Amino acid sequence: MTSLARLKFYATQPHACSYLPDEQATTLFLDPSQPMDVQVYAELSEMGFRRSGDHLYRPHCQRCTACIPARIPADGLQLNRQQKRILKRNADLTVTDVRPSFTEEYYALYANYIEQRHADGDMYPPSRDQFHTFLVRDLPFSRFYEFRLEGRLLALAVTDLLPNGLSAVYTFYDPSEERRSLGRFAILWQVGEAARLGLKAIYLGYWIKNCRKMNYKTEYRPIELLVNQRWITLT
């Protein structure tokens, strides 16, 4: 167990919340001069931290506790009828684990996804520099999982392989393949991959009850939420 007491953290000034329009957000960052150690990262993930680019962070808002860290245990996932259909529809896809890199193929898929699905968000408009900074980091635990149909790239899941689980950093996909529910399939596949690797869970980031875009996270049962510094299970 690494001692976390020696680590330094910095809080941002309050800024507009990306998810709740009437709220101000404050973010707590691990000191960026601290090397990105996988064991430290794993321990901080148990405390609700996430990675974005080269930074580990978590919400640290004074008046709001809406952002709740969520994870799916790798064992015991209870598939509902819709999830079974999603697995069946995507049984023809092949998944390949590759090192993070920039390619025009990746960027074209990413840019189309942001433009079609997140034109109202703070990641619009997409750019190559944004893609590099956010997703293409030279970190030994970072993975790109390619989801392909007969060679055609349909989705890419950016995922961190930690000692305690998989951390789903970001997933983007072809919006025209709506029937496949590729975002949900990527989560189901990563749960299975975590189980195959003998890992504890897949970390999904934050769930916000009043944010429609995050409703999908609680479709997976059982799911664990970090509430008052304890992981509680919803079945």
Residues 14 and 80 in one domain: no
- SS3 category, 132: helix
State phi, psi for 88 to the nearest 5 degrees. -65, -45
Q: Is the pLDDT of residue 212 over 90?
A: no
Q: What's the pLDDT at 4?
A: 82
* CA-closest candidate to residue 90, choices 174, 27, 206: 174
Q: Is the pLDDT of residue 42 over 80?
A: yes
Q: Is the pLDDT of residue 2 over 80?
A: no
Cα 90 from Cα 30, distance rounded (Å)? 38
Query: What single-letter amino acid sits at 62?
Result: Q
Residues 85 and 167 in one domain: yes
For residue 226, give the CATH number of its domain.
3.40.630.30
Residues 62 and 76 in one domain: no
Q: Give domain status of residue 144, yes or no.
A: yes
Residues 139 and 159 in one domain: yes
Residues 77 and 179 in one domain: yes
- SS3 category, 85: helix
Q: What's the pLDDT at 5?
A: 81
Q: Give domain status of residue 110, yes or no.
A: no
* CA-closest candidate to residue 58, choices 71, 43, 47, 42: 47
Token pair belonging to 27: 């973010």
Q: What's the pLDDT at 18?
A: 87
Cα 43 from Cα 151, distance rounded (Å)? 37
Residues 82 and 45 in one domain: no
Boundary (domain end) residue, out of 20, 42, 67? 67
Residues 59 and 76 in one domain: no
Q: Give domain status of residue 119, yes or no.
A: no
If one counts the domains in the chain, the total is 2
Q: What is the DSSP letter of 14?
A: P
- SS3 category, 52: strand
Q: Give domain status of residue 46, yes or no.
A: yes
Residues 94 and 45 in one domain: no
Query: What single-letter amino acid sits at 18?
Result: S
Q: Is the pTM of this model over 0.85?
A: yes
Residues 189 and 78 in one domain: yes
Mean pLDDT, the chain, integer: 95
Residues 31 and 80 in one domain: no
Residues 36 and 88 in one domain: no
Contact criterion met (CB below 8 Å) for 147 and 131: no
Where in the sequence is the domain holding 156, given as residue range(s)?
70-102+135-234
Q: What's the pLDDT at 80?
A: 97
What length does the chain have?
235
Average pLDDT over residues 30-54: 95
Residues 42 and 149 in one domain: no
SS3 content of the chain, % helix, strand, coil (to 5): 30, 30, 40
